[in-house]
A and B are shown apart, each in its own frame.
Chain A
C-alpha cells in the first residue's frame, strides 16, 4: 500500500487529469480515474482531486460516470462546497433520455452525505417517482428513504404527500413494492403511517425476490392485527414462506408467525414443528456460516422446547473437517437435546470428541458431558473417570473442573468423584485445574485417603507457585482439611501460614494468611463455625436448569443478532451503542444516564415536554455560584409565592435529578429529614432572565411553600416557570 509518498501520487494524478491530451483520449482518461478509485479503495486520501473529478463527470461514458459518482459519494462529506458544484451535473443527468443514466444520477445524488443536500434532491425524487422507467422509480423510492435518514425529523418533508405518492405507486406498479420495503424500514423509526401498506404488500409478497420478501416480513412485524380473523388471514397468506428456498426468508417468516400468534401457544408450537425441516437443512448445509447462524437459532428454540430436535440428534454430530465454531455450537445443541432415549448415543459421541486434537474442542466436549451429568449423573461420571486414565493435561484439568461443579450440584456423586481423584495431581498444570483440585481435596478431604499428602506436595512447592489464586485456594483447603484431619495437617498448615505471612509478596494472599492465623487464635470452634459451610447445594442446580422459557420471551429476538451473540453479550453491545448514539446530543450524558432510570418513563416524558409548551426555554448549562446566588437572592423581592401539596418525606436526590432534567439547578439543600427542610434552586432562560427559588417544607410534611424571585419582571415567563416547577414537584410527590 503506497502510504508513503502518497502526496506524489496525488500530485501526479492531478496533473494527469488536467492534461488536455489525456482528457481527449477517452481510454486514458478513464484509466486515470480508475487509478484514483484504486487509491481511494486502499485508504489514500484522494479528496484533493475533487475539482478535477467533478469535471470528469461531464462525459458520455457511463462507466466513467459511475466511477466519478462513486468518488463523489465518498468524499462529499469532506468537501461539501465543491460537491455543490457537482449537483448541477447530477441534476442534468436526472433528465437524461437514458433511464440507466437517470437512475444512476438520482441514486448518487441521494447518497451524497452532506448537509443541505435535501433541498436539491427533493424535486428530482418526486420526478423520479413519476418516471416512466421502473428502474428509475425504484431508485427514487430508496431515495425517499435516504432523504428521510438525512433530514431526521426536520420539517421539510412531512410524510403526508410522500405517502400518497408511494401508495399510488404501489397501485400502478406492483414490482416497485420490491424496494418500497427499504423506505418503510426507515419509516419505522418515525412511527409513520404503515397501515395503508400492509395489505397490498402482503398480497404481492410472493412476486418479490428473496430480499424483498425478507424485508416485507420484517416490516409486517410492526402491524398489530385488529381481530383474530385478520390475524389468521395474514398467517394463511404467508404460510408458504415457512418453506421458502431461502433460509433467511424462512427465519423471517418464523419470527413473524411467532410474534403475531403470541396469544396462541398452539399455533406457535405448530409453526416451530413446521420449520424444523428447513432449519435442519440449513444446519447441515455446506455453507458453513449459514449453518452457524441456523445452529444458534436451534439452540434458541431448544430453550423453550427441549425435546424439539431430540429425534434428530444425529444431525448434530460433528464431522472432522467442520470449522471450530460449528463444532462448538453442535456440542452445545447436543447437550441440550439429550433425553432418555438418546443419552447413550450422545454420550458415546461426546466421548469421542474428548480426545480431539484441538484442546479447546476437547474441553468443550468435557464440559458438555458435565452439563448432561446434572441429569444423568452415573453414566457421565463414569465416562469422565475413564478420561482421567488418558493422563493428558488438558483433559484432566477440564475433568477436575467439571467434577468440582458437579459435586456442588449433585451430592450423590461425591463418592465416585472422590475415588477418581487420586493421581490427578500429576497431570494438572494450569491455575483453573489446580484450584478445582485443591478445592475438592479441601472440602471432601475426609473421604480421600491421600488428600493430606497431595496438599503437602502443593505446600512444598508453594514458593514456585505462580498463580496467587491457587495459593488462596490452598490456604482455605488446608484449613478445612485441618478441621477434619488435624493430626496429618497441623504441621504443614503451620508451615504454609508461616510462608504466607513472612515471605509472600502478594498482599491478598498475605492478608488471607493473617486472617486465618487470627481466626485460629480465636479458637477451633470459631473456625469450625466459620469454615464449616455446606458442601453442596442441589437447589442451585434447579435454578441453573432454568425451567422451560416461554416462546414469547425470545420471539422478538428471533432472526436477529441476539441468538448469534448470546443475550448477555448483545445487551452490553447495544447498551454501549445507545449511549454512543445519544452521547453528543446531550450536554451531560453521564448525569442523564444516572437520572434516567430513576424517573418512570411516562413521567419523564411529561417533564421533557413541558419546557417546550410555554414560551419559556431554560438554558441547560446555567451555572451560578452559591455566593452569587445569595447576593442576588437578598437583593430581590419575592415575585411569586405559592403553596403546593406534598406528602411523605423528601428524597433530595430524586428531586435534584428531576429538576436537572428540566434544567433547574439546585444550589443548596437540607439533609433529608431536617426540620424545617429547605432547598434553593436557580435557573436561567434564553433571554438571560434569572429565576431564584426557595422551597420550604413545613413540619407536618403536607405542604411545600415555593417562593420565586426574578431579576427582570416578566409575568408570562414567570407563570410558565412556576408551572414547570409545579409539575416536577407534583410528579415527585406522586411517586413517594
Chain B
C-alpha cells in the first residue's frame, strides 16, 4: 500500500512529508526531486520507478504530490486517492498553492493522519472530516461529551455521509448540471470524436434524513414509461438522451438503479457530486469553427476563421475565446474582427480572440494576415489545431432534470416546501478544430 506521501513545490523543496511504512526512507524524498522535478525533459510517465520504488505523481498548478510505495499496488486506486486528497485540501483551504500549503501545514498533517493509516486510505469524506478537523484546530475542546461520541459514531457510522439531527429553517436545494463538451473536428468539418462528460452537483440544505428521488430524461426510463402512452413516445423520444455510462455518489442505492433505473438516495449535508456521466450520441455542439488558411508565398499566411453558434437564439454564450495558433517565425499580424477583441500574443504564438457574449444562431468572423520571417528551416509548420473556450447556459448532452422529489417521513415538511434551484452550465473541455 502507500508507503509515504510527499508534497513539493516547483523548486523541489519538501513542503509535507509523511511516511507510513518503514520501507520508505528519507532518501526517497530526494530521489524524486532529482529524477522527476529537476529532470529537464517533460514528464515521461505519471508513475516513475526509481531504485525499485514507485512514485505516483500528480501536479496541481506548481505543486507536486507524490505517493510512494515499494509494493505492487493498483495504479488507478492510488491516483484516485491523490485526487481525493486534492479535493479534501481544496475543500479546506481553496486553491492548492505553495502559500496555502505552507500556511496550513499543521492542518495537512492532521488530515494525513486521518485519511491514511498505515498506508490504507480511510475516511476521506470532506463532510465527515470537517466535523472534527477544523481550520483553527480541533473543535472537540469546546464540545460536550455527547457531541464527541456523535462525531466518532458518524466517522464510522452506518450512513457515513450524513449525521442525524440536522435542522434548517428553510429547506433548500441546488442542482447544478455541469458539463464539459469535448470535440475533435477535422478541417473539413467532420466530427472525429466528441463526447460530453458531465456531473450533477447537488447542494442540499435539508432537515432530518430526507429521502430524495432524482429523475432525468434518460432514454431507457422514458422508453419504459412511453410504453403506457404510445403516442407520446414519438415526442419524448427525441428529447431523451442515451447515457453511455454513469456512476453515482455512494449514497445512491445502486440496486434500485439497476432494477428500475430510478435514482434514490439520502443526500449528504452540503455540497456533493451526485452523479457523473458520459454521453457520445446526439451531442449539441454549441459552436462550429470553420478555418481557412492560405499560404501566400513563403512569407505570408492568410487566416480566416468563422465561428457559428448553434443553439436557441434566446440563449447567450459567455466567455468565448478562440485561440488561433501562428507559426514560430511570425513577424507581424494584422487582425480584423467584426465582434469582440482579438490580439496577437507573441509569447503564446497565437492570436487570441475574445468575445464576451454571443447569442445563438449567429455567426462571427475574424480574418488575419500573418507575415512571416523568411527562414531556411525546412521544417514545415505543423499547424496546431484551433482551440476554443466558452460557457453556455444549457447542457450540450441534452440532459434535462425532470424532477427531484424530497420525502421526509419523520419531520413535517413536504416536497412542496422545499425550494429547489436547477442550473445548467456547459463548458468547453478540449474543443479543437484542425486546420
B334 CB–A CB distance under 8 Å: no
Which residue of chain B has its CB nearest to the CB of A245? Answer: B247
Question: Across the interface, which residues of A come within 8 angstroms of B14, CB to CB?
Answer: 41-43
Q: Which of A209, A322, A352 has the most CB of B within 10 A?
A: A209
A321 CB–B CB distance under 8 Å: yes
Interface size class of B (residues with CB under 8 A): 35 or more
Secondary structure dominating the interface of B:
mixed
Cβ B245 vs Cβ A277 within 8 A: yes
Cβ A573 vs Cβ B44 within 8 A: no
A284-B110 CB under 8 A given contacts A134-B152, A319-B430, A577-B52 = no
Partner-contacting stretch, out of A289-297, A596-604, A647-655: A289-297
Question: Across the interface, which residues of A come within 8 angstroms of B298, CB to CB?
Answer: none
B130 CB–A CB distance under 8 Å: no
A161 CB–B CB distance under 8 Å: no
Cβ A317 vs Cβ B193 within 8 A: yes
Alpha-carbon distance A134/B378, docked complex (angstroms): 70
Alpha-carbon distance A42/B254, docked complex (angstroms): 46
Partner of A390, one of B148, B157, B380: B380
A487 CB–B CB distance under 8 Å: no
The smallest beta-carbon distance between B333 and chain A, in angstroms, is 20
Query: Would you give the 0/1 interface string for A87-127, flagging 1 where the beta carbon is closer than 8 Å to chain B?
Result: 00000000001111001100100010100000000000000
Cβ B138 vs Cβ A63 within 8 A: yes
Which residue of chain A has its CB nearest to the CB of B143? Answer: A98
The smallest beta-carbon distance between A127 and chain B, in angstroms, is 16
Question: Across the interface, which residues of B come within 8 angstroms of A66, CB to CB?
Answer: 109-110, 113
Partner-contacting stretch, out of A138-146, A376-384, A698-706: A138-146
Question: Across the interface, which residues of A come within 8 angstroms of B52, CB to CB?
Answer: 573, 576-577, 580
Cβ A135 vs Cβ B79 within 8 A: no
Question: Across the interface, which residues of A come within 8 angstroms of B258, CB to CB?
Answer: 240
A355-B110 CB under 8 A given contacts A240-B254, A245-B247, A561-B47 = no
Q: Would you list which residues of chain A between 309 and 365 have a CB under 8 Å from chain B? A: 314-315, 317, 319-325, 349, 352, 355-357
Which residue of chain B has its CB nearest to the CB of A63? Answer: B137
The smallest beta-carbon distance between B255 and chain A, in angstroms, is 7
Cβ A561 vs Cβ B75 within 8 A: yes
Query: Would you give the 0/1 interface string for B8-51, flagging 1 where the beta carbon is closer than 8 Å to chain A?
Result: 00000111111110100010011000000000001111110100
Cβ B156 vs Cβ A287 within 8 A: no
The smallest beta-carbon distance between B258 and chain A, in angstroms, is 7
The smallest beta-carbon distance between B33 and chain A, in angstroms, is 10
A684 CB–B CB distance under 8 Å: no
A246-B80 CB under 8 A given contacts A135-B152, A357-B384 = yes
Question: Across the interface, which residues of B come within 8 angstroms of A38, CB to CB?
Answer: 105
B95 CB–A CB distance under 8 Å: no
Chain A interface residue count, Cβ-Cβ cutoff 8 angstroms: 106
A142-B46 CB under 8 A given contacts A67-B109, A561-B54, A576-B52 = no
Partner-contacting stretch, out of B117-125, B222-230, B340-348, B368-376: B117-125
Alpha-carbon distance A38/B13, docked complex (angstroms): 12
Cβ A294 vs Cβ B140 within 8 A: no
Cβ B197 vs Cβ A284 within 8 A: yes
The smallest beta-carbon distance between B303 and chain A, in angstroms, is 17
Question: Across the interface, which residues of B come within 8 angstroms of A278, CB to CB?
Answer: 245, 247
A320-B385 CB under 8 A given contacts A113-B22, A209-B124, A240-B258 = yes
Cβ B245 vs Cβ A292 within 8 A: no
B424 CB–A CB distance under 8 Å: no
B249 CB–A CB distance under 8 Å: yes
Cβ B387 vs Cβ A321 within 8 A: yes
Cβ B379 vs Cβ A392 within 8 A: yes
Which residue of chain A has its CB nearest to the CB of B7? Answer: A41
Which residue of chain A has its CB nearest to the CB of B156? Answer: A134
Cβ B148 vs Cβ A289 within 8 A: no
A70-B113 CB under 8 A given contacts A98-B148, A240-B254 = yes
- Give 8 closest A-B pairs by Cβ, nearest first: A245-B247, A248-B77, A211-B121, A135-B152, A277-B245, A289-B46, A293-B75, A134-B156
**Can you identify 30 A-B contacts, CB atoms within 8 angstroms?**
A1-B13, A34-B106, A100-B151, A111-B20, A134-B152, A135-B156, A146-B118, A182-B118, A209-B124, A210-B250, A214-B74, A215-B120, A218-B74, A247-B76, A251-B77, A277-B244, A278-B245, A285-B197, A286-B180, A290-B76, A293-B47, A317-B192, A324-B42, A325-B44, A357-B384, A392-B380, A560-B72, A561-B47, A561-B75, A565-B47
Residues of A within 8 A of B (CB): 1, 34, 37-38, 41-43, 60, 62-63, 66-67, 70, 74, 77, 97-100, 103-104, 107, 111, 113, 133-139, 142, 145-146, 174-176, 178-179, 181-182, 185, 206-207, 209-211, 214-215, 218, 240, 243-248, 251-252, 277-278, 280-282, 284-290, 292-294, 296, 314-315, 317, 319-325, 349, 352, 355-357, 390-392, 559-562, 564-565, 569-570, 573-574, 576-577, 580
Given contacts A138-B156, A211-B124, 17 further A-B contacts (CB under 8 A): A63-B138, A70-B18, A103-B152, A175-B160, A218-B74, A245-B249, A246-B247, A248-B80, A278-B247, A290-B76, A294-B76, A317-B184, A317-B193, A322-B430, A560-B72, A560-B74, A561-B47
Residues of B within 8 A of A (CB): 1, 13-20, 22, 26, 29-30, 42-47, 49, 52, 54, 56-58, 70, 72-77, 79-83, 105-106, 109-110, 113, 117-118, 120-125, 132, 137-138, 140-141, 145, 148-149, 151-153, 155-158, 160, 180, 182, 184, 192-193, 195, 197, 244-245, 247-250, 254-255, 258, 276, 278, 378-380, 382, 384-385, 387, 429-430, 432, 434
